[in-house]
Amino acid sequence: MSRNGVAVLGVFVVDLAFRAGNMPAIGETIAGSGFAMGPGGKGSNQAVAAARAGASVSFISRIGSDAFGELALKTWETEGIRPRVAKSAEAPTGAAFIYVHETRGDNAIIVVPGAAGGISPADVDAVADAIRESRVFVTQLEQPVDAARRGLEIARAAGSVTVFNPAPAIKFDDDGLFALCDYVVPNETEAEGLTGIAVSDLAGARRAGDALLAKGAGTALITLGERGALFHGRDRSLHVPPFAAGKVVETAGAGDAFVGGFAAALAGGADPLEAARFGSATAGISVTRPGTAPAMPKRAEIDALLKG
């Protein structure tokens, strides 16, 4: 079978982002300095990032029959993403509260996946053709682990490249899942949660990478925020530098930008290390803009940053 493009299994939520100088304490009300509402959810963000980076993208999920669900469909139509999405008559489309520090851009997030929290292996089987036809398959942990595993199983059997972003950082009892992954892409917090090894520097990242390889992962690609990323495979371990594209405005969505850019580059035939550099450049641009999905850069912007 001829495979092309990227298939993403994940969650869409509407981001409700509040800017303020600090998080309120329990029982406290504070004045904020800004608010924005827009499309989000790790899986959907990654799909948008991959599509804007030039990949042909399918997105697999569940949404509610509500106004937030209509925003999801409009978002995917605008971005040229093919939705393979079931609708729930009972559960709502998901939502996320995002606190953004008004000067540093740091963030804290609460996600409620809504209808997508009920994605089952049977739902994934129902759209298995989208996974089998993809060159790269991506999933995360905002939907149930058993659904992520089923997607990885289908992709591995079909010969697609498998990318697992174990986010958010939740505990799960399925170490066998790592053996289905060509690339595991956690951030520092997620890598520490999965391995018990603190990732405070490159040496710690390499130790955590070794632990992920021992669990069966093909390559550990650990994102390190403003320090870039570590590409840690069985035959090479290399630091991927960050790309500074301007003043940091908001870091929410940077990891999704990295994963989406990385997947798009892989789908386009790039060497994995070059794909990681492409992902780093994608993330470097995204943090200079507010929002998550709306902050994802276009292919021409990424290419220009890489050349510069």
Annotated active-site positions, please? 256
Q: Give the count of beta carbons closer than 10 Å to the beta carbon of residue 90.
A: 8
Contacts (Cβ under 8 Å, ≥6 apart) of 116: 10, 11, 12, 13, 41, 61, 62, 63, 93, 94, 142, 143
d(C-alpha 55, C-alpha 48), whole Å:
10
The bridge status of strand 93-101 relative to strand 107-114 is: antiparallel
d(C-alpha 85, C-alpha 254), whole Å:
25
d(C-alpha 252, C-alpha 33), whole Å:
17
Q: In the chain, count H helices and then E strands.
A: 10, 13
Q: Could you give the angle at which helices 272-286 and 299-307 cross, rounded to 10 degrees?
A: 110
d(C-alpha 119, C-alpha 91), whole Å:
11
Given a contact cutoff of 8 angstroms between Cβ atoms, the answer to whether 212 and 195 are in contact is yes
